[in-house]
Structure 1
């Protein structure tokens, strides 16, 4: 059978309109294979989730290694820049030069004119809304929805 719903349809053919079983052997056979199909799908879900977790753990480990290397490179760059203090350096393997750049630094407490302030869209506090709704608050257009989330272990 191609999907679980096909099993259910086939199992229904083993019963009459009143729900009485007319072919118990075929019904039991179909139910057994349907249960095996459900188990197979659930095992596939568990395997996919386990792989995703392993990948996530590896991503985290790689991100940590990357951050360590970036910090090391930044530290060495500052050290070398401080030592060379703008002097050029060159060998057959490496060439160090400088380029000018500009950056705006805003001091703590600076009074920046309104024309240079960027508006940001407000963010909805769903955690706060949930607490309010559970506390009995009624908010137009907002509701607490109960969902059924499948758990496979």
Structure 2
């Protein structure tokens, strides 16, 4: 079966030299209009199939994204609940060790840094971060007619399949 590109090329290479007679300009082959009509039908069917495939893939991607977001919310809820219960248990036990057959609760010391005043920190302990481009603000400014050096608003043609 021919690809959509090959079908397009076959149609573009056909020129009607006299009513009812079409010639492929690339090969010199004489093609009757019925064959050309079949090529167009085959092209139309391929376009239809590809468009429907795209719609299905986008629907699958959307469903998978929603499912992923649902799993992420469930994951975060479980992590938060575990942290709450751990904090509650730590307050109740207050350093007491507990050992059972299914679990053991112990304690270990750790150290954590707490920043009391970020403005007083020496510069050596600060991490420089590159500025980020705010494309939304630039787009709004350009749409409002402002001149933004180093940026321009480009109009694109995006395919939409419904």
- Of the three residues 80, 98, 103, the one matched with 2:107 is 98
2:36 matches 1:34: no
1:95 Cα shift?
0.8
Q: Which residue of 1 aligns with 2:54?
A: 45
Q: CA deviation at 1:109?
A: 6.1
How do 1:64-79 and structure 2 match up within 5 A? Answer: 64-79=73-88
Q: TM-score, normalised by structure 1?
A: 0.89
Runs of 5+ consecutive residues of structure 1 not aligned to the other structure: none
Structure with the bigger percentage of strand: 2
Q: Tell me which moved more, 132-141 or 73-82.
A: 132-141
Whole-angstrom CA distance in 2 between matches of 1:15 and 1:54: 46
> What is the TM-score when the length of structure 2 is the normalising length?
0.84
In structure 2, the residue corresponding to 1:15 is in which secondary structure? strand
Q: Residues 89 and 96 of structure 1 are in contact (CA less than 8 Å); yes or no, is this contact kept in structure 2?
A: yes
Which 5+ residue runs of structure 2 have no aligned equivalent?
23-31
Equivalent residue of 2:120, what SS? coil
Higher relative contact order (CA 8 A, sep 6+): 1
RMSD, aligned CA = 2.1
